[in-house]
Amino acid sequence: MEFDRSNHPHRRYNPLTGEWLLVSPHRTKRPWQGQTEEVAANRQPEYDPGCYLCPGNTRSNGSINEKYIDTFVFDNDYPALLEDIPKIKDSSNSLFQIESVRGISRVICYSPKHNFTLPEMPIEDIRKVIDVWSDQVIDLGENYRWVQIFENKGDIMGCSNPHPHGQVWALNTLPNEVFKENSSQADYYIENGSVLLMDYLQAELKENDRIVLENDDWAVLVPFWAVWPFETLLLPKKSVMRLPELNSNQMDNLADILKRILTKYDNLFNISFPYTMGWHGAPNDSSDNSHWLLHAHFHPPLLRSSTVKKFMVGFELMAESQRDFTPEEAAERLRNCSEVHYKICPPE
Ligand code: H2U
Ligand code: ZN
């Protein structure tokens, strides 16, 4: 019997984090009698007087939102990080290590329209969101080593409000995931004299098994080591370290590819597709970051329908991440999804 990666259990290595993943493709036919999630029917109004993100509305702490017409950024009223923190004096015990952390968190409204989502927005409006992301990296990058732009979308990701929005948290230190990616990319650069993710994209374009979408400046693929069922990685085709370094064309093409991948996601199960997404660019410090390539991760939880999600439990929490169907299958399913949003062109 010959090994077949679409049938036999195996492990795959994630060179970005240095972690392994267990793949069990033979298991995809197992019966499911577990939990299903309620899908919120998306019949939101364009303006919701009770929404704390709609223009002109009052937030829970009494602040009033601007009557904004495209995007709007405000300091999170319940920030996870604070700017002024006293220094910790004694941290000498290696078993009780503790350090102070300085930071700031903001909320980014993508559109004044309460019932919009990124894939439903015109490309020009998506471009404005990209400009805001980039401006936040410039602004916060002056004072903070790490600027994390992210979006939680959908009730099942714990998103608090359907109004289209994301967040930015900036802090003076590298958080775990970023620390791993930074070390792996640096090690690879020293060993190979080239950029890990640039080499990886070249190899993926050549193999052409996991590419979902491309335009002149960007590619979206299901990584070889994808943990989440329909996880994707968005990569620039040319070497770029951070969002603000993108030229205007690259930003326009980014808006194009974001609209296309997010439309495919929505069309996969004909729902507004939940996910956590985030940008990873080079840290804002004076060290040589030639090993970094800007990229975005999309981690959607849904597995087999609009109501069945993947759980990170059991073996995954106690041993290592695991998936059933292969990343190659996921890429094929996403490739086969239409680029016309189901709300515009409903399925038959
Ligand atoms: P989600 O992206 O998970 O939906 O979080 C939205 C953020 O909005 C959340 O961090 C903040 C919460 O602290 N928020 C305000 O800053 N003001 C409010 O009036 C409500 C929510
Ligand atoms: Zn709203």
For 253-286, how does the pLDDT look when each residue is reduced to its tens digit (9 = 90+)? 999 999 999 999 999 999 999 999 999 999 999 9
Confidence band for 37, pLDDT divided at 50, 70 and 90: low
Confidence band for 345, pLDDT divided at 50, 70 and 90: confident
Taking the CA of residue 79 as reference, the ligand 1 atom at the shortest distance is: 13
DSSP3 helix / strand / coil % (the chain, rounded to 5) = 30, 20, 55
How high is the pLDDT of residue 29?
66
> Does pLDDT of 99 surpass 60?
yes
Instruction: Please list, residue by residue across 234-267, b when 16 or more beta carbons sit within 10 angstroms of its beta carbon and e when fewer do.
Output: bbbbeebbbbbebeeebbbbbbbbbbbbbbbbbb
Nearest CA to ligand 1 atom 17: 77
Which residue in 277, 282, 320 sits closest to 298, CA to CA? Answer: 277
Could you give the CA distance from residue 299 to residue 213 in angstroms, rounded to a whole number?
A: 17
Inter-CA distances, 237 with 166, 197, 201, 228, Å = 25, 10, 8, 24
> Does pLDDT of 62 surpass 80?
yes
Q: Which fold has domain 40-86+95-335?
A: HIT family, subunit A (3.30.428)
Ligand nearest to the CA of 51: 2
Could you give the CA distance from residue 149 to residue 284 in angstroms, rounded to a whole number?
A: 14
Confidence band for 115, pLDDT divided at 50, 70 and 90: very high
Ligand nearest to the CA of 55: 2
Which residues, 6+ apart, have CB-to-CB distance to 92 below 8 Å?
Answer: none
Nearest CA to ligand 1 atom 15: 77
Confidence band for 329, pLDDT divided at 50, 70 and 90: very high
CA of 43 to the centre of ligand 1 (A): 21
For 118-175, how does the pLDDT look when each residue is reduced to its tens digit (9 = 90+)? 999 999 999 999 999 999 999 999 999 999 999 999 988 888 799 999 999 999 999 9
Could you give the CA distance from residue 118 to residue 126 in angstroms, rounded to a whole number?
A: 7
Could you give the CA distance from residue 114 to residue 164 in angstroms, rounded to a whole number?
A: 7
pTM above 0.85, yes or no: yes
CA of 30 to the centre of ligand 1 (A): 39
Mutate to test the pocket of ligand 1, among 52, 61, 107, 151 (most ligand atoms within 8 A of CB): 107
Mutate to test the pocket of ligand 1, among 160, 272, 277 (most ligand atoms within 8 A of CB): 160
Taking the CA of residue 60 as reference, the ligand 1 atom at the shortest distance is: 19
Among 279-283, 298-302, 327-331, 344-348, the range scoring the smallest mean pLDDT is 344-348
**Helix segments in 156-280, DSSP class H:** 176-192, 196-207, 248-269
Percent of the chain at pLDDT above 90?
85
Confidence band for 44, pLDDT divided at 50, 70 and 90: confident
Could you give the CA distance from residue 243 to residue 107 in angstroms, rounded to a whole number?
A: 18
For 209-247, how does the pLDDT look when each residue is reduced to its tens digit (9 = 90+)? 999 999 999 999 999 999 999 999 999 999 999 999 999
Ligand nearest to the CA of 68: 2
> Does pLDDT of 40 surpass 70?
no
How high is the pLDDT of residue 167?
98
